[in-house]
Structure 1
């Protein structure tokens, strides 16, 4: 498994410290984020999932704990929109350049507005997908927010 991805390159270019961790990815897992947390031996609140959505027809990214669900209403409000909906997996892959199960908010083909769950910023560190199935980045959540130029807001249901 390659340890260098567009996500790791993007963070390195910004001078943000991180470590790379691999785990046994299971495509048939009910929740990829929860499976990653279990495989890494981490609290699911520290293993963040990346979801691609559409806000008033425009792409956006939501980063939140793997054991929580995103509130589309709160996501829309956080970015000043009216209505949000999950993006179709094929559209998310085409937009980000990553495969579902390996979508990272870092190093996407096109920068889109991003919201990170505010509660995640209270964690001493978080894991976020590194842009490849079975590969996670461990970093300071405030560094993640800065790298993504993300809005911090309560977006969980």
Structure 2
């Protein structure tokens, strides 16, 4: 199983989890939950957000949730957070969106 930033974070904090490999084609949290036969809330997704100045912020959230940009901006003491386009998100992360 490949290591990524999320698994490194979980490992560094000794948080137990089960990682699953999914098909290589792009799928979202709903499709991943269906393949794994688990509730969507048990599948996590990484959402890229951007701010006016500074580096992008990644939010790791349950598959059945959405990022509240106003709350995130407030938490980070930012005026505004926004969602980049799919192409921008892929450029920022080097990862394919939805997969």
Cα offset, 1:88, TM superposition: 2.3
- Describe the shift of the 1:94–1:48 C-alpha distance in structure 2 as closer, same or farther (beyond 3 A): same
State which drifts further: 7-16 or 60-69: 7-16
Confirm or deny that 1:84 pairs with 2:77.
no
Q: Which has the higher contact order (CA 8 A, sep 6+)?
A: 1
Are positions 1:20 and 2:19 aligned together? Answer: yes
Query: Could you say which structure has the higher helix fraction?
Result: 2
Structure 2 unaligned residues grouped into runs of 5+: none
Question: Of Structure 1 and Structure 2, which has the larger fraction of its residues in strand?
Answer: 1
Distance 1:74 1:12 in 2: 24
* Paired position in structure 1 for 2:62: 65
RMSD: 2.6
Query: Structure 2 length normalisation: TM-score?
Result: 0.74
TM-score w.r.t. the length of structure 1 is 0.50
What is the aligned length? 97
